[in-house]
């Protein structure tokens, strides 16, 4: 049953366009959430590219006609975080991840997968509810976002708006 469940989890994640929570997988397969965490670890070890996001697990799908770019940004505080991410989403960007260069641990990358204003609102609610510090607090506010944009013109607008608001200093 364990291997069969893992095959079904893999198929479900490959078919899904949205992140699937560990809790919903646990309920569907009538196991604990911890069993799902273990199943995901085994599936990853077998080579499946499963990403953990604040909204659940997903397998990123290749998208045609998009550009992937990386922005370096600096800010501190939740209000600045929300404003920065809002600019990216508002002007047509999709926020794939956030990365910091930690002096001891090296690169720390966390998948965000923020595709819309609704995703952003959910993310900000989770940050506020958890009372956790943003990842950039580990590096005095300096961090990077990988974003997906439909074309270089959209990227230029996002970069310009972030520069105007003081998030980009280069």
The C-alpha atoms of residue 54 and residue 167 are separated, in whole angstroms, by 23
Question: Which amino acids are annotated as binding site, given as ranges?
Answer: 75, 84, 143, 145
Which residues, 6 or more positions from 62, have their beta carbon under 8 angstroms from its beta carbon? none
Helix (H) or strand (E) holding 153: helix 152-164
Residue 151 DSSP SS3: coil
- Give the residue carrying structure tokens 């998009």: 66
Question: Which amino acids are annotated as binding site for Ni(2+), given as ranges?
Answer: 75, 84, 143, 145
The C-alpha atoms of residue 159 and residue 70 are separated, in whole angstroms, by 10
């Amino acid at each position: 049953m364990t291997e069969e469940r893992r095959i079904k989890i893999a198929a479900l994640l490959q078919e899904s366009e949205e992140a699937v929570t560990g809790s919903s997988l646990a309920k569907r397969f009538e196991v604990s959430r911890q069993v799902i965490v273990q199943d995901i670890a085994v599936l990853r070890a077998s080579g499946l590219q499963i990403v953990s996001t604040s909204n659940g697990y997903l397998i990123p799908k290749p998208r045609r006609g998009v550009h992937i770019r990386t922005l370096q940004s600096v800010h501190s505080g939740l209000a600045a975080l929300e404003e920065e991410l809002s600019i990216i989403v508002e002007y047509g960007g999709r926020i794939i991840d956030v990365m910091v260069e930690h002096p001891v641990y090296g690169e720390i990358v966390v998948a965000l997968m923020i595709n819309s204003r609704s995703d952003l609102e959910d993310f900000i609610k989770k940050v506020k509810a958890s009372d956790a510090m943003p990842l950039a607090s580990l590096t005095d506010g300096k961090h990077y976002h990988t974003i997906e944009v439909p074309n270089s013109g959209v990227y230029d607008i996002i970069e310009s708006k972030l520069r105007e608001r003081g998030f980009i200093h280069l």
